[in-house]
Amino acid sequence: STFTHSGMTGLLDAVNEDTPMTVIISDNLTTGMTGGQDSQGTGKLEEICLGLGVDRQRLHTIDSLPKTFEEMKALFKAEFSHKGLSVIIARRECIQTARRHVKPNRPSSLISNH
């Protein structure tokens, strides 16, 4: 939600100037500051970035999970060496909201913090 409140204008400026940087948007699928509800950008960050003019070839979404570590490392390395603007959306549901999905009779030890 912080991106939709204050990050979009900066990204628009970066698009207009083709600023040589990689923007990383950490998307935890919630608005943590105010209790974990959806924000206006939930599920729409890719569309917002494209609408602001980010090159589709330089817009990536990754699942921030330990099992994708090597893939993430390669992606970051490639985009950091790119001479223009790129955006990586690192997505993983907030652990606090994920816990709400667990059934009450299910042991909490099944919830991973990794």
Confidence of residue 19 (pLDDT cuts 50, 70, 90): very high
Residue-wise burial string across 5-43, b where 16 or more C-beta atoms lie within 10 A, e elsewhere: eebbeebeebbeeeeeebbebebbbbbeeeeeeebebee
- The structure's pTM equals 0.74
pLDDT-derived band at 114, boundaries 50, 70, 90: very low
- Residues in the chain, overall count: 114
Residues 1/33, Cβ–Cβ less than 8 Å: yes
- Look at domain 2-100 and name its CATH class: alpha beta
Looking at residue 112, its pLDDT comes to 47
Q: Taking residues 12-32, report their average pLDDT.
A: 85
